[in-house]
Amino acid sequence: MKKTVIIGGNFAGFTAALELKRKGGQQHEVLVIDKSPLFTFIPSLIWVPFKRRDMKDITIRKDEIFKKKGVGFMLATALEVDPDNNLVKTNKGDVYYDELVIATGPKVKYDVAPGVREHAHYVGTPNGAMKIRKTLEEFAKNPGPVVIGATQSAGCMGAAYEFLFNFEQWLREKKIRKKVDLHWVTPETFLGHFGIDGMTGAKTMLETFMKMFNIHFHTEVAVDKMDSEKVYLSDGTELPYKFSMMMPPFVGVDFVTNSPKLQATAAGYLPVGEDYRHPAYPNVWAAGIAVDVPLPFTPGKVPFGSPKTGYPSDETGKIVAENIVRVHKGKTELKKKAWGKIPGLCVMDAGKKEVWIISNHLFKPRSFAIMVPNVIYDFGKVLFEKYFMWKTKHGYSYLP
């Protein structure tokens, strides 16, 4: 029996674990190491501050699902790996592996500019989303100017856009929209770039949304610093605020950066091939956010990155599981699909409205790409959430 250890258990790690056990059966022992027993549906965190969702609505006990499916679970913090001796070091002891899958989520770089950590809110974690909820209760009593956006080097602009439009909708529901001067700041060279070099119609559509909702926007700017009253931008603009949400950049987690033999990039991501296999250690694999994804575009004067969303994370988890099974069967031909060639499938929520983003490839060149606005209701994202939570609760990792 071969033992595969998977570090991380959200989108990529969860899928990889269940798919490997499903395809490998009794020939494969699978162990997931994670510091949380909960699976969190990250895309719905943007709704938590506005009370459209509670955390209990978007979390599942993954350790219980693993147990039902024959996957082991170790509640621990992975500290580093010794790939020469096939050992993962954790705060609860060393763990031996035959194959290792690194499917860790991101570490958030809050210190991207002075004052961001201290003064900006961040919606990308459960604690951050709940902190914003509490803050908005007070903000509604005494509203003022607001700055929302992404800092330099950020790569998850889509979630920041979603928060912006949900916030604007919330202001109207609270009947305080006229009291709030709302600003959007982004390192993108144009609205709707998204770190994928845009799509046909994206720039025009986003500019139309900004004008429709009376949102001031600032493109190709960095955050020089923040204090308790203002956001200072790289173009000299000073924006006063009473509330701010900023999307900082992601970097690799400490487990990877503390393991120098993995030869991670400066940002802490793993260099792997299109089969998601490490070039120096063939029994080490990466999936999801841990994968190094080269920029598919030429950056402007302000750096920013590419998105690493749930769908490609899920897909790379499946690819890694399939390839480990093939290796153990003695096959030499592995499944390959570059990150940028994975289809682009996304529903961007826009505050009880939405935009469907569909393309045959996430990155250019593409032969098919379309953005379809739905201004009636955001049923697409709601349905996707319900579907994904259902398939996750039942451990149906093989479903798309």
At 161-197, the pLDDT tens digits run: 999 999 999 999 999 999 999 999 999 999 999 999 9
Of 341, 356, 376, which residue sits at a domain end? Answer: 341
Which one, of 74, 96, 73, 72, lies nearest residue 83 by Cα? 96
Number of structural domains (the chain) is 2
Task: Sort 376 into a burial class: Cβ within 10 Å, 0-12 / 13-18 / 19+.
Answer: exposed
At 310-324, the pLDDT tens digits run: 899 999 999 999 999
| pTM tops 0.75, yes or no | yes
Query: Per the domain annotation, does 397 fall within a domain?
Result: no
Residues 243 and 132 in one domain: yes
What average pLDDT does range 227-247 have in this prediction? 98
Q: Residue 324 CA to chain centroid, in angstroms?
A: 25
Hey, how many other C-beta atoms are within 10 angstroms of the C-beta on 228? 9
Instruction: Name the helix (H) or strand (E) containing 15.
Output: helix 11-24
Residues 209 and 83 in one domain: no
Q: What is the pLDDT of residue 238?
A: 98
Q: What is the pLDDT of residue 377?
A: 84
Least confident of 81-95, 104-118, 341-355: 341-355
Dihedral sign, Cα of residue 167, residue 169, residue 170, residue 175: positive
Residues 238 and 207 in one domain: yes
Of 234, 249, 264, which residue sits at a domain end? Answer: 249
Query: What is the pLDDT confidence band of residue 200, given thresholds at 50, 70 and 90?
Result: confident
Query: Per the domain annotation, does 358 fall within a domain?
Result: no
Residue 223: CATH number of its domain: 3.50.50.60
Instruction: Name the helix (H) or strand (E) containing 231.
Output: strand 230-233
Domain hosting 122: range is: 114-249
Q: What is the pLDDT of residue 299?
A: 85
Q: To the nearest whole number, what is the mean pLDDT of the chain? A: 96
Of 341, 375, 395, which residue sits at a domain end? Answer: 341
Q: What is the pLDDT of residue 374?
A: 87
Residues 234 and 136 in one domain: yes
